[in-house]
Structure 1
């Protein structure tokens, strides 16, 4: 079950000398802190546009949803109510697609499309049934109902705070409007029959502008907090459900498991055909020749039988190695501690093994853990150029943890289609996780996390 990590470690273990960079460009450094540049950032204006557009869109969506659902519910006494209700839900799904696109463009929120309609057969009635049974349709309807009150609140708060901040900030530029056109000295703070207070002297005008500056600086963060609720609503109501997402993940994992099993079967078939099978065929031919020579030249026949005996030993060793690659007997009989110690003894570098388990996990998880460590140690032997390695296995709550460390040249990468990525896919197929920490120059630390499942009767 060994995997060649030449691509992942070949670049990693000291062969890639390119400088590290993120995204091909250095991060841009800003001279102003985020609090000061927020009012003029593109993100702030996009979020403001999102809030302003939400009100008319939510009114249209709410009116459509309530009208169509009410009409469909009222017509349920007749057959017409069912298709009208289905049309209402289908329209809400269409609005949901628009809202996802708007959130993607203005909020930079990537939301996957919900699960498609599942139709067992074609036809109008099948479509109606699929729409009515779809959870995504009803979540889109719920979004249409809940969006309006939140859009009204967001619009009112945003517009008032935004206008207040900018109007007070720019008050020194337009306070002259009051004495010229309004017949008063400035903004009136208080007034009755006997006394009035205006913001008209330089000190009061300056303080007003400073208060406006505070509101202006705070407004982007208020809008950002309001749009966080919009993000949650779009993601939770207009995206795929957690169950549908989980089904997609399981289908993908099942495909990985099937492909891995097929690849293992092809490897076993190839190893048997090219190894033990070919050797046994040659052995049968040698024994046939020895049988023919037995009467004519017993000495030559004995020599040929002796050579055949050596071939038998070699074939048996190949079969043992192949069986060990499928599932080693020591793992079944004595568990991970003994099996990993046996693997470590075959590694080219000294390996320290420490297994801290009070009980054994399920056989499937135990086998995956064994082959994970086996592949990582073989990888160290081939590519790491290390002088020592260590293997630790322990349990944390309901998870089985594995960690393989070496002092090699580092640079291992789980991406790029390497053997490490294949190992990560195998672990992911059983809800496992593979984390690789391998800076250039080392050391390399590979941590694997597997679900713990109690051992069943063997």
Structure 2
């Protein structure tokens, strides 16, 4: 077999960690696009390594050398802040060319006052690890650039294997020095990302409510006011026409009230507030197009926020059953398992549901993840479909 058909492991498949962030994909072919990306990374190492080394040496030397003056420590702090930006660019380069998927470290902690900022900057572990990365990369950058350039000319048959081995060294450095330092820092970064999801979801909900009010109840009430005005004008000259208009306005009032009730149910149904999940889920299941069995086994009610999220999660899943599943029956089960609230919706439909299938499951999973929840989908072709959701259990405060 010729060299350009030799299978070579992908970057992540040679990573011994085999983590969820870097799954092991199938084998790849030599001189494929992954190999050329690795070669491009190795050849660009010299320039980025020189820039990182010079920046680290100059910023640390200036800050430490002038530490006896009033500007030394602030210069060092500013240099560490700039190191964070260099680390971000290196993670982006590794992501694009090496396929390294690592979480961004937590943002720089915010502190009030000059001295708070100074102290937080000087003890920032992310910035110090980035400076160390810049210092040790110079000799490695020279080696990888030289070997990569020479291999392009005289070591062509083994170039893919050399590129893979050297690139794995770069992957190790990036993961070891530019990734979040510990589980706490990683969790902070995840929560920062989740906060953005929550904000976006809340903004979308507000826009939906505004649109529903404008296009629904508000428009109907405007028409009602105009109709009553016309009826008032005709009251003396044409009582029968006025009575007909009042009768029509009465019907409009009923429709407007129904639309407002539906809108309020979409925000937070009264039955959930008054009677809890069991009654609320029985109510929402009654609106499903297939028969639904509901079983709620909770000794106590969870916190209002968790209860509301659970209700809307099941409601959205039952809407998917009605719209997409072609099922004959469905079942909902809610129970507590330790410090988690477990929700499960099953149907005997056609199956084949996916997170990218236009059913809103991806958005639902993001919203649950934003509150430390989880969504698991099991939907083989031909069915049945089982969706399991987990939420953190928080007890309702005592009255």
Normalization by structure 1: what TM-score? 0.56
| Aligned partner (choices 192, 207, 221) of residue 251 of structure 1 | 192
Match of 1:315?
256
Query: 1:295 aligns to what SS in structure 2?
Result: coil
8 Å contact from structure 2 (residues 197, 366) kept in 1: yes
Please show how residues 189-268 of structure 1 align to structure 2 within 5 Å.
235=175, 238-241=178-181, 242-268=183-209
| Aligned partner (choices 424, 427, 430) of residue 365 of structure 2 | 424
Please show how residues 82-101 of structure 1 align to structure 2 within 5 Å.
none
Unmatched segments (≥5 aa) in structure 1: 1-25, 29-60, 148-226
Match of 1:333?
274
Task: Write out per-residue CA displacement over residues 368-409 of structure 1, whole angstroms, 9 at most, x where no aligned residue.
Answer: 110111111111111111100000001111111111011111
Q: Structure 2 vs 1, CA of residues 302 and 109 (structure 1 numbering), >3 Å: closer, same or farther?
A: closer
Structure 2 Cα separation of the partners of residues 117 and 324 of structure 1: 41
| Aligned partner (choices 420, 435, 446) of residue 387 of structure 2 | 446
Please show how residues 349-368 of structure 1 align to structure 2 within 5 Å.
349-368=290-309
Q: CA deviation at 1:267?
A: 1.1
| Aligned partner (choices 126, 130, 135) of residue 125 of structure 2 | 135
In the TM superposition, structure 1's runs of 4+ consecutive aligned residues that sit over 4 Å from their partners are 72-90, 92-97, 107-121, 125-131, 137-144, 233-238
**Number of residues paired by the alignment?**
316
Structure 2 Cα separation of the partners of residues 430 and 285 of structure 1: 46
Match of 1:198?
none
Task: Write out per-residue CA displacement over residues 39-77 of structure 1, whole angstroms, 9 at most, x where no aligned residue.
Answer: xxxxxxxxxxxxxxxxxxxxxx9xx99xxx9xx999988
Match of 2:353?
412
Query: 1:368 aligns to what SS in structure 2?
Result: helix
Query: 2:290 aligns to what SS in structure 1?
Result: coil
Match of 2:147?
none
Aligned-residue CA RMSD (Å): 4.7
Task: Write out per-residue CA displacement over residues 19-40 of structure 1, whole angstroms, 9 at most, x where no aligned residue.
Answer: xxxxxxx967xxxxxxxxxxxx
Q: Structure 2 vs 1, CA of residues 372 and 94 (structure 1 numbering), >3 Å: closer, same or farther?
A: closer
8 Å contact from structure 2 (residues 326, 349) kept in 1: yes
Q: CA deviation at 1:113?
A: 6.0
Match of 1:275?
216
Structure 1 Cα separation of the partners of residues 292 and 370 of structure 2: 28
Higher-Rg structure is 1
Structure 1 Cα separation of the partners of residues 199 and 87 of structure 2: 36
Unmatched segments (≥5 aa) in structure 2: 1-24, 28-52, 137-167
Please show how residues 134-213 of structure 1 align to structure 2 within 5 Å.
134-137=124-127
Match of 2:149?
none
Q: Structure 2 vs 1, CA of residues 444 and 132 (structure 1 numbering), >3 Å: closer, same or farther?
A: same
Q: CA deviation at 1:299?
A: 2.5
Q: CA deviation at 1:253?
A: 1.4
Higher RCO, 1 vs 2 (CA within 8 Å, ≥6 residues apart)? 1
Match of 2:13?
none
8 Å contact from structure 2 (residues 344, 389) kept in 1: yes
Query: 2:235 aligns to what SS in structure 1?
Result: helix
Q: CA deviation at 1:79?
A: 8.7
Structure 1 Cα separation of the partners of residues 79 and 199 of structure 2: 41
| Aligned partner (choices 212, 216, 235) of residue 294 of structure 1 | 235
Match of 1:371?
312
